Amino acid sequence: MDDYILEMRDITKIFPGVRALDLVNFKVRKGEIHCLVGENGAGKSTLMKILSGIYPWGDYEGAIYYDGELKKFSNIRESTEAGIAIINQELAYVPEMTIFENIYLGHEIMKGRLINRNEQIIQTRKLLKQVRLDINPTTKMSELRVGTQQLVEIAKTLSKSAKVIILDEPTSSLNEQESTNLLSLLRELKRDGVTLIMISHRLKEVVSIADTITVLRDGKTVCSLDATTKNVDEFEIIKYMVGRDMKNIYPHRTEKKCDEILFKVSDWSAFELKKRKNVLKNLSMTVKRGEIVGIAGLMGAGRTEFALSLFGNVPGYKLTSGKIELEGKHLRLDSPMDAIRAGIGYVTEDRKVNGLVLMQDIKFNISISNLSALMKGVVIDEQKEILTASKYQNDLSIKSTSVHQKVRNLSGGNQQKVSLAKLLFTNPKLLILDEPTRGIDVGAKYEIYSLMNQMVAQGMSIIMISSELLELIGMCDRLYVMSDGEFTGELQREEFSEHRIMEMATNIRKEI
């Protein structure tokens, strides 16, 4: 009765010293949306790399049956030819090439010995229609938004007539609206008979879209839940993921109201030189001591630009007006160094790109933001450095063998904690957290939230930028909604609702 298109049986994969997968079983029905969930390091990506031939046959134990046949993929080309396509979290495209060139890169349509450009454009137009994109196939990839690029990637897999498409965290860099778009597109593809495997941390999406949910934990299959016959909720999935009941995703916080205004921005405007337009328009906000203030908004609303400009880092921008006050004192910040000295910390949106020096160890990354606190004459006091790093390692429970471990080898959640520790070491009064839980697992998220609560309890204030509305609603005391470079609304905790935030973020009707 069950029509499985794909079966992975007793898959075991061993890395030096680590058993990444241990007798994993994974079965996918034809034409379903199958979600694969699990904490970071549970083995999801490894399993998909085996399926797509990145780890070739012979490199693992167990067997893959696809369409009833035993398959021995030795590279990604073979799996693609068989009809299995993978779209990685980090999209792989050539930015300076057009959409159609990217789609047909590597399997060009030929006319004799030459590339048939016109036919490629015609076919691309059809493919784009299939993914509901209405754009010119000759547009450059670099001009598209991330959400659109993602859709182009899907079109690319369709061009290779993929029957099974694997999507690794497809919505992690999309905003809510783009995510919704993508999910409904996936539903349509399913109707067309495509089988979809999706890895995701966003359980809400998983619950809404999945036919089957397979949970992996520590390299083992925990369970496969059939969501078509029985209702599965997020809490149930979390329970299987972490192996414990987690009643509350957001830790409780003892409210400590304080009316003292710590930080105040007024009339903050910036002009982007390259695009010749105003990116930040008369932004004003206040942050009280011990408060967590959220900034919601869609991708491209200017949230990160705002945060970076407050932090004294404005490459390519020109501040046209505005004033910052911290503890009643007017500040002039020309560089991140000024900001750090004044007591403002910024934890970046993407720890790998501009947060951490991956090839260096934990202590290097923590101490680098405040070396002057560790000096003994002209020399860095290495003992003090190790003690300091160890202290943060303990306080933030960074899991590693020692502070000498290279940051590259840490999991996403632990990397994020190092990123946090680095700024905490500067003793900030105001901490700006840009997407603090992106790409980290549920358990680590909870730890980050608890840390945030601890920090504000100690009198620090936090500005939290996030694309996950539930996270903002769960954590913030107050929030501002940003749209196209301006604040379109301010909401008190009692007024929080996803609906209202989305309305303001999309700027359907202005209300201030």
Partner 1 sequence: MNTKVDNERQQPGILAEMRNLLRQNVRNYAMYIALFVIFILFYFLTNTTFLSARNLTNLVNQTGYVAIMAVGMTIVLIIQQIDLSVGYAAGFFGACAAILMAMGVPVGLAILIVLLFGVITGAIQGLIIGKLGVPAFVTTLAFLFIFRGLLSMVTEGSGTVVVTNEFFNNISNGFLPKVFSIWGKHGLTLVVFALMMALIIIMQIKKRQEMQRYQFALISTPLMVVGIGFLLLLLGWLSFSLSGYNGLSWSILLVAIVTFIYDFVLKKTRLGRYIYGVGGNREAAALAGINVRNTVIFAFASMGMMSALGGILYTSRLRSATPTAGAGFELDAIASCFIGGVSTTGGIGKVVNSVIGAFVITSLTNGLNLMGVGISYQYIVKGIIFITAVAFDVRSQGRKAI
Q: How far is the CB of 426 from partner 1 (least distance, A)?
A: 8
Integer Cα distance of 324 and 412 in angstroms: 33
219, 40 contact by CB (below 8 A):
no
Would you give the DSSP letter of residue 306?
H
The two tokens of residue 483 are 């749209």
- Measure CA of the first residue to CA of the last residue in the chain; give whole Å: 57
SS3 of 282, please? strand
Please report, as residue ranges, which positions from 278 to 337 form the binding site for partner 1 (by CB under 8 A). Answer: 311, 313, 335-337
Q: Which is nearer to partner 1, 57 or 250 (CB)?
A: 57
Q: Is 346 in the site for partner 1 (CB under 8 A)?
A: yes
Q: Is 114 in the site for partner 1 (CB under 8 A)?
A: no
In the set 355, 412, 428, 439, which binds partner 1 (CB under 8 A)? 355
Contact map string, positions 4 to 23, toward partner 1, x by CB under 8 A: -----------x--------
In the set 250, 386, 411, 454, which binds partner 1 (CB under 8 A)? 386
Beta bridge partners of 463: 293, 432
Interacting span for partner 1 (CB under 8 A) from 118-126, 224-232, 357-365, 478-486: 357-365
In the set 161, 184, 208, 360, which binds partner 1 (CB under 8 A)? 360
Q: Write the secondary structure of 333-349 as one string of H (helix), E (strand) and C (coil).
A: CCCHHHHHHHCEEEECC
In the set 262, 301, 356, 463, which binds partner 1 (CB under 8 A)? 356
The one-letter amino acid at 419:
S
Would you give the DSSP letter of residue 128?
H
Q: How far is the CB of 14 from partner 1 (least distance, A)?
A: 13
Would you give the DSSP letter of residue 406?
B
Q: How far is the CB of 55 from partner 1 (least distance, A)?
A: 10
Integer Cα distance of 107 and 119 in angstroms: 13
339, 463 contact by CB (below 8 A):
no
DSSP 197-233: EEE-S-HHHHHHH-SEEEEEETTEEEEEEETTTS---
* Cβ count near 257 (within 10 Å): 8
Q: Is 74 in the site for partner 1 (CB under 8 A)?
A: no
Q: Which is nearer to partner 1, 118 or 402 (CB)?
A: 402
In the set 357, 399, 497, 508, which binds partner 1 (CB under 8 A)? 357
In the set 380, 391, 411, 490, which binds partner 1 (CB under 8 A)? 380
Would you give the DSSP letter of residue 24?
E
The two tokens of residue 484 are 């196209």
Integer Cα distance of 259 and 261 in angstroms: 6
In the set 68, 254, 259, 379, which binds partner 1 (CB under 8 A)? 379
Please report, as residue ranges, which positions from 399 to 428 form the binding site for partner 1 (by CB under 8 A). Answer: 401-402, 404, 408, 422, 426
In the set 258, 368, 457, 508, which binds partner 1 (CB under 8 A)? 368
Integer Cα distance of 32 and 187 in angstroms: 9
Q: Using CB under 8 A as the criterion, which residues of the chain lie in contact with partner 1 when the complex forms?
A: 15, 311, 313, 335-337, 339-341, 346, 348, 353-360, 364, 367-369, 371-372, 375, 378-380, 382-383, 386, 401-402, 404, 408, 422, 426
